[in-house]
Structures are given as structure tokens and as C-alpha cells.
Chains A and B, each alone.
Chain A
Amino acid sequence: MESGVALPPPSGIVQSMKADSPTQDESVAGRPGPVPAAADIVVVDGLRKDFGERRAVDNISFAIRTGECVGFLGPNGAGKSTTIHILLGLVRRSAGTIHLLGEEVPKHHQKVKQKIGVVPQIDSLDPDLSVEENLLTYAGYFNIPKRQAMAKTDELLEFFALENRRREIIENLSGGQRRRLLLARALINEPQLLILDEPTVGLDPQARHLMWERLEILQEQGTTMLLTSHYMDEVARLSNRVLILDRGRIVAQGEPEQLITDMVGVEVFEVEGTEPELDRLAGMFSQCEATMERVTGKLYIYTKEDCSRLEHMLGDRRNWLRRPTNLEDLFIQLTGRSLRES
């Protein structure tokens, strides 16, 4: 189910992987495993993390190839953020091996982090500094020479439509501007891997779309991305491949459309009614290849084939709808409907 699409070599805002990758030609076999293939930017094998009694990450393995955008999906406490924090060295692993950009971590973290960009879940912009100073100061942390940092800052402020806010203090920025600045900051070091931990959380639709457009441009340029999000539309739109995590394990992975069709079906009927009505309907729909789910007062019918011929059985009821399946259906099917609050 590998779908690592070979994207054109990156150029422009995010630096090419080619420059540092010595063995581009051996790059094809991107199978997860302890030995990193040349094109695998991330290789995680048997990763585990225990916080005392609680196992937050339970033996997960995956790989991310150059140019791919992999989406991490999962309910709260599924282990998404913990995994990302382990990749970045903010959390110690309990077991497993990790290779980033061909280097073993945590051993070579300092070297590797020089080439990673991160948009954190929690806004960590420096409120004591202006927009421009935020970028320049962060560039300093990467030891980027001043002249180069200033050129890059100009470029990023323009790309993210923040040029007219250059000297503004962070407090006066809108939520969308802050998020764009966080993304700009993550790109200051021309990363080969961009890690996005819920990059559009709390944004209004306009601001989200603007973020997505920018992220798509970065993708076209070949930036490798690891994305976590609660927004299914975001993951569906940006990811070539999704990993669904639940209770610290990967419960499904693959190309989103394929996964949805394979695991959920092609269409969903959502029908409301009394329990006897729904019982009767469920019986009738069993003529068609479909799986059913019952919630109080509601029947979901996930069809694996075209079941429109059964539509007449719903008669002239008003309280039903038929729609294509989506990532959210898959997500709910895999991780259940119950709330995850710790």
C-alpha cells in the first residue's frame, strides 16, 4: 500500500535533499525497517514509550520518504505528539530505533535538528520580540550567518504575506498571522523535513485555507512533511499517506482514498428513525454489500458497492442522506465514537 509518489526535485523556498543525500540512485525500496534507505527521511522501528504505568507509544514502526507528506491521525492520547516529541528529543524513548535524515537519533540530534523545521502545537513565538526579530533570533539558534538570515527573513515574510507586519509585536497579530509566522520560523533553516503538529488549530476557515495553500506550495517544491491534525479535511487534503494511531499503536496506514474505500466503503447512508424502523431497514440493506453501525436513533450504512437500487426503500422519509465516505468515517470506525478525555 506504499504510495510514496516520486515528486520532482525540490527547489525554491525549501532546500533540495539532493545536496546532502549521497546515494540518490538506491532510493527506491522504501520499506520500513531498521536500515534506512537513502530516500527515507524518517525511519522509526519498534518505538515504545512508557510514562510510568501508561504506555503512550506501543511498538510503532513507519518510514517517511523524501517528498512525501504523511499525516498522523488519532484521538487525544493516541501517541501522536509523544511520537513527534521523541523524534525531536523532547521525550526520551523507552525502546526502538530512530533514523532521521539518515542519522541515528538521539545520538546525532544536534546535527539532524539543523535540518528539521517544526511548527509546534502550542504557539511558542517570542512575545518580547517583533515579527522580524522572531525570525532573526531563531536563525541565530541555527547559527545562520546574519546576512543570510536577513535575506531569508525577507523571503519568508513575503511568502507568508507578513511583510507589512515586520515590526509589529506578536501580541498585535491575528491568530492566522501567528500561525503563518510559526510556519515561517520553521522554514528559516531551509529544512529537509517539516514537522507540523496541528498547524491550523484554532484558526478560522479563511486563515486555514491560506495556511493550506502555502503548505501545498511547499509540497510542490518537494518538502517532506509529517503532519498531525484533528481536522480530517486537512489531512485528506495535504497527505499522500496517513497513519492512524490509537492507544499508542498504528491501527491502519495507507493512501487516504484507498484506505477509506477498503476499510469503510464507497458511500454512507445516514438514516434517522425509531428503533423498529431502523431494525427493518438494516434487514433490508443486508441484500447489498454493506456494513451497518447503530447509534441511538440513527443507522449508518457503509456500502461497499453501489446500493442506490435500495434507495427506494427509504421511501419519502426526509431524515436520511447519502454521501461519499470520508476520512472521518474511517477514523470513527477505527477508533470508536467514545470520547477520549484523560
Chain B
Amino acid sequence: MNIAFTKIWVRNARVWRKHIMATLIGNLGQPFLFLIAMGYGLGRDVGPIDGLSYLQFIAPGLVASAVMYAAAFETTYGSYTRLALQKSYEAMLMTPLTVGDIVLGEISWGACKGLIAALIMVATLPFFGVWPSWWALGLLPLLLVAGIFFAALGLIMTALASNYEFFNYFISLVLTPLFLFSGIFFPLDTLAPTARFVFSLLPLSPIVELARMLTFGRLQGPLLLKIVIPLLVTLATVWLAKVLLQRRLIK
């Protein structure tokens, strides 16, 4: 297997080390604030859902959202800066690296950044009275796949962007709705059938559901389907990112 893409991963990690504090605060700030405001603040007045306190209920989904934001921001604002301003991709293409290497390097790094944000969050959950089960180890592969998906989605936006403003669409029309309607803050299965159907199609929904199951060790439902479909969607997204970036870089 060609591992040339790891050189790009290493480059990004090298830069990340220099701004580690700022990046972590950027990646973790929002999910933590939501955990406190909604889980602790609002949660005291919300009854238990499926036997979980409201804070327990939203914590796994917020972890998943941390992956989404960290990965997608890295491959939009970060990657676009490297593409358009710093001409880093052009410099890379003058070496034996290919567009495929760039895509894998950027996505693997974005996913990794997402995973780091998520793991820090999971590690602090006990302070909020949320004690994960051993099943929570399964979050690792799950959130990695989620990271790959959202990093690839971000890179697609980068390949299509002609300026930074373009990412406003992505954030307002994609990321924010996913954050609000993927079952992080309310259970989907008690909604009206149509709403339930639509919301369950959102790519973050199965991730949130699986994250909650794994965190508390309550595995149920058509698991295989819930694992296989996100995997296939992720592969397709990576492929599309490769096609679009190729088109953007090679005239």
C-alpha cells in the first residue's frame, strides 16, 4: 500500500503542535458549552429519556458533533488556505505526491483532529457524572469513520469553493442542521413518522445513535445496517472528494 499520504499527515501534525492550545479550544469550546448549558442548565428541568438523565442523553451526541466540527473545519478553512493561499498542494504536486495522496493526507489528518477532540471530551465526561461503559472503546472506530466522513465532506466543499464565504453555506445549511436534528438533543423515535424518517436519513443520526449505545453499553436494533451504511457513504464521499479535487488541481 502506498503510504506517501502519511507525509502530508506529518506535515499537518507538525503545524498543529505549534498551535495546539488554540486549536483545542476552537474544537472543544462549543460542545462543552452546549453540554453545560443544555445538559446541566436545561437538563435539570427535563425528565429522564430512556432511563438517562438529559445530560447523559446528550453527551454522546455532543462528542460526535465535536468530531464533525473539528474534522469539517480542518478540511474547509484549513485545507482551503493550503489550496488557495499557500499553494501547498501545488508545491506537493511538484514532488512524487499525487492528488490521491493529498486527499488521503488531508482527510486522515482531519479525521485525526476530530478524534482527538472527541477523546478529550469523552475523558472529561466522568466530571459531569457520565460514566462510560467498556463498550465505549467502540467509540474509537466509530468516531474515526465519522471523522473521515466529515473531513471528506469538508474537502468536497474546499474543492468547490472560490472564497471563504462559500463555507457559510456549508456551516449554515449543512453542519448546523445536522447538529440540531440528528438526535443529539431529542430522541428521534418519538417524533411524527415523516420527521423521524427525514431526520434519521441525516448522516450524523446513525453516528449519534451508535455513540449513545456504545457509551452506555446498550446495543440494540439493526446494528449491522447502521454500521455498513455509514461505511459505504463514507467511502463514496472520499471518492467524490478525490474526483473534485483532481478536477480543481489538474486543469
* A contacts, CB < 8 Å to B: 51, 85, 88-92, 110-111, 113-114, 116, 118, 120, 122-129, 133, 137-138, 140-143, 189
Can you offer 11 A-B residue contacts whose CB atoms are under 8 A? A89-B93, A90-B93, A90-B249, A123-B87, A126-B11, A137-B14, A138-B95, A140-B7, A140-B10, A143-B96, A189-B95
Q: How far is the CA of A259 from the CA of B104 in the complex (A)?
A: 49
**Which A residues are in CB contact (< 8 Å) with B251?**
51, 85, 90-92
The contact string, 1 if C-beta is below 8 Å from chain A, for chain B 57-96, is 0000000000000000000000000000011101111111
Contact A90 B250 (CB under 8 A): yes
**Which A residues are in CB contact (< 8 Å) with B18?**
128
Residue in chain A with minimal CB distance to B3 = A143
**Which A residues are in CB contact (< 8 Å) with B223?**
none
Q: How far is the CA of A180 from the CA of B92 in the complex (A)?
A: 18
How many A-B pairs have beta carbons closer than 8 Å: the answer is 72
Contact A141 B97 (CB under 8 A): yes
B4 sits at the interface (CB 8 A): yes
Q: How far is the CA of A88 from the CA of B88 in the complex (A)?
A: 15
The count of chain B contact residues (Cβ–Cβ below 8 Å) is 23
Q: How far is the CA of A110 from the CA of B95 in the complex (A)?
A: 8
Residue in chain A with minimal CB distance to B15 = A128
Contact B95 A124 (CB under 8 A): no
A113's contact among B11, B86, B95, B249, by CB below 8 Å, is which? B95
Q: How far is the CA of A138 from the CA of B98 in the complex (A)?
A: 14
Contact B11 A114 (CB under 8 A): no
Residue in chain A with minimal CB distance to B87 = A124
Q: How far is the CA of A142 from the CA of B15 in the complex (A)?
A: 19
Q: How far is the CA of A113 from the CA of B7 in the complex (A)?
A: 16
A143's contact among B4, B8, B98, by CB below 8 Å, is which? B4
Q: How far is the CA of A171 from the CA of B97 in the complex (A)?
A: 26
**Which B residues are in CB contact (< 8 Å) with A111?**
96
Q: How far is the CA of A88 from the CA of B94 in the complex (A)?
A: 7
**Which A residues are in CB contact (< 8 Å) with B94?**
88, 90, 113, 116, 118, 120
Contact B15 A113 (CB under 8 A): no
Q: How far is the CA of A189 from the CA of B96 in the complex (A)?
A: 11
Contact A124 B88 (CB under 8 A): yes
Contact A113 B90 (CB under 8 A): no
Q: How far is the CA of A124 from the CA of B88 in the complex (A)?
A: 6
Q: How far is the CA of A51 from the CA of B251 in the complex (A)?
A: 9
Shortest CB distance B9–A (Å): 10
